[in-house]
Structure 1
């Protein structure tokens, strides 16, 4: 049995065992990396663990630690209240505000825009009993909508890669196709889910009870004239020291830290993991008690889940499994059929690994028939961008991991299962719909 086939079988067993026995799949990933890497590929420990995503580990820990301060001292509520004020207190518009904020941030180069917006969006959804899964999906689709702008990391990578290989970049279609595609998906998600209560954490019920007992006219009170059914929001109810849009003295360092984090990542391009950990340590130095409390907000189970699976995926890639599957697909004599299979492969692999990495692999494999003119370059690249990223709600992708890390612990398991279900649906329909984007220009130019 070939090493490539063994890798695929082991990957399948990880999913079966993890789901069947409720074992953290990240732990299984570490074992699989050691087993396949050591016994099949004859690698040393430093080789089969070389794929451990240190940067993502630091990012997940740093971001959830930093936002732990903001969650505990009420800064998140202050920021959300500011956003609410911008839309005149209309709750129904807030999911789209979060969609737009995420899209703009990532379009400007903030690769981890989901990590910045997700804590704000999910906190707002929890507080006002909006479907948390729907809000999370809109945040991720917002990120994917703006991900391929000419000045984003994704856009720069793909356009430069095409230019270096003698192909003409198409930055406008690369940006607009994923934007329109994800906007449509977000609209469908909103229409289907926005009237459903969705997941609710135990903390939400406690928050609602406290709000109703202490503030008769609060948003959660069923007798309030400004209850959610009216589409308006009042911001008078105090929450953990927050009073309306006012910032108390104890919140100032955290607010300054969040602003510093956003500016350092957006303007200076500094590593988000190191930045957030540094800022968190400074905040812990200022208030050691708050630092200990914030550390409990770090989503260690999610960190283990993601890093373990990605460590094994690196071994899988080292074994040549991706290239093995791709080579078989590329050998097909019908270019559009080969493109369709490549899109499905990129979607499936991207759900478990780096979207940017699989895009690079697929473009490299597709260069021969892109050069032949059998497939429209602009359409193919735009469709590949969609197919490889539409599955990013998967908890094993960077965006999905950052979203799951900010979900309340009491609903995280159920949220995780819903993410898996939606990612599976996207794997089934996303690449096929994206293929139309590639096929139509090809047919029209014939």
Structure 2
């Protein structure tokens, strides 16, 4: 049996064991990396751990650490109230505001994980405060960032168009950008109305006042929703409560807001690492106000960190031994070019749910050249379908974006959000390649 097949079987075993037993998938993946890498392939420890996502680890820890401090000192609550005032108290509009901001940031050149790392903690805290389904808010942030991925100015757009050019494939940057944008806007509409948007609209778009923190479950009963609706009042009109009196800007909150602004400028303008900047800001805030940061480290979800980093390490090992190339080369030998194109889209979706979207596109687009040479598959359509299939699954909890959503969800709801994101992510793994392939290669007729 080839080492590539062994690595695929080991991956299946990871998910089977993790499903049947209460074992962290990240821990299982690290063990599998050790067993497959050292025992089967004879790798040394540094080679086994070469794919450990140090940058992702720092992002997860740094951002959740900083926003834990921001929650503790009231800065996030202040931002939430400011956001409510900004939209005139219409909380029903906030998920779309988060979607749009994420999309614009990524379209202008921010890396998708950086945009999500900045927007997700604010959006998820807002969801908690006003009883919005955290899955709705998290998915709107993630798919908003995905909508801007293939802008000609965006990182993925630049990379993909560059790979297309160097591979000698006829591409169209505007078709790539617009097809991905439309796909994610349609997904956003489905997410909004499928995960609680109708309830927000039915409540008149008003902000349900919930001093307890809005800890409603994603499947609120109609009775609970009715009770909430009866208690709603526009945030800009309702009288101050004891919880609202503390929302004035003090020194700690001003410094925290300054740190967040610096985080945005550093990531978008100077291309600085979001994780390291977040850690720096968190340390500075801890030195200035130790009391607000006292329990912040304990609020980092280390289980999520282990889960994501372990899975990514194993998938990196699979890429190192050529498993993705092995699958891609096998598919290009399929006699039916359209079917082979669909299979390549599925490989992009499956692997990208765990690994770097940029790396996957860089590896798979050149593999599509033999298919395009047949003249039976549209180059423009296949590149767009493959790009959508590989990027839209970043809502998986094993991708950086999905992991950020889980890490910033209310602690008592993190397990639920993780499970729902897994279902959603793998639902997209199954559906996105088929839909994008059918629309862009079979029906479009470029």
TM value normalised by structure 2? 0.90
Shift of 1:205: 8.2
Which one of 233, 236, 239 corresponds to residue 240 of structure 2? 236
The answer for the alignment partner of 2:206 in structure 1 is none
Partners of 2:84 and 2:91 within 8 A in 1:
yes
Equivalent residues in 2 for 1:248-267 (5 A)?
Answer: 248-267=250-269
The answer for the alignment partner of 2:3 in structure 1 is 3
Which one of 122, 134, 137 corresponds to residue 136 of structure 2? 134
Partners of 1:89 and 1:234 within 8 A in 2:
no
Structure 1 residues 88 and 51, CA, compared in 2 at 3 Å: closer, same or farther? same
The answer for the alignment partner of 2:441 in structure 1 is 439
Whole-angstrom CA distance in 2 between matches of 1:331 and 1:43: 31
Whole-angstrom CA distance in 2 between matches of 1:227 and 1:117: 23
Structure 1 residues 238 and 159, CA, compared in 2 at 3 Å: closer, same or farther? farther
TM value normalised by structure 1? 0.90
Whole-angstrom CA distance in 2 between matches of 1:362 and 1:338: 12
1:101 lines up with 2:76 in the alignment: no
Equivalent residues in 2 for 1:148-187 (5 A)?
Answer: 148-187=150-189
Structure 1 residues 371 and 275, CA, compared in 2 at 3 Å: closer, same or farther? farther
Shift of 1:166: 2.6
Cα deviation per residue 1:48-100 (whole Å; 9 max; x = unaligned)? 11000111111111111111111111111222222222211101111111111
Say which SS state the counterpart of residue 288 (structure 1) adopts.
coil
Structure 1 range deviating more: 384-393 or 159-168: 159-168
Whole-angstrom CA distance in 2 between matches of 1:56 and 1:225: 40
Say which SS state the counterpart of residue 11 (structure 1) adopts.
helix
The answer for the alignment partner of 2:35 in structure 1 is 35
The answer for the alignment partner of 1:75 in structure 2 is 75
The answer for the alignment partner of 2:233 in structure 1 is 226
Partners of 1:221 and 1:227 within 8 A in 2:
no
The answer for the alignment partner of 1:366 in structure 2 is 368
The answer for the alignment partner of 2:389 in structure 1 is 387
Cα deviation per residue 1:2-32 (whole Å; 9 max; x = unaligned)? 2111111111111111122111111111111
Whole-angstrom CA distance in 2 between matches of 1:382 and 1:59: 29
Cα deviation per residue 1:362-390 (whole Å; 9 max; x = unaligned)? 10211233355432222111111111122
Say which SS state the counterpart of residue 423 (structure 2) adopts.
helix
Cα deviation per residue 1:282-334 (whole Å; 9 max; x = unaligned)? 11121233333221222211111111111111111122211111111111122
Unpaired runs of 5+ residues, structure 1, are 199-203, 210-219
Partners of 1:108 and 1:152 within 8 A in 2:
yes
Structure 1 residues 416 and 225, CA, compared in 2 at 3 Å: closer, same or farther? closer
Equivalent residues in 2 for 1:33-432 (5 A)?
Answer: 33-111=33-111, 112-194=114-196, 206-207=212-213, 224=231, 226=233, 234=238, 236-239=240-243, 242-243=246-247, 246-432=248-434
Shift of 1:437: 3.3
Cα deviation per residue 1:381-435 (whole Å; 9 max; x = unaligned)? 1111111122111110111111111011111111111111111211111110010
Structure 1 residues 237 and 335, CA, compared in 2 at 3 Å: closer, same or farther? farther
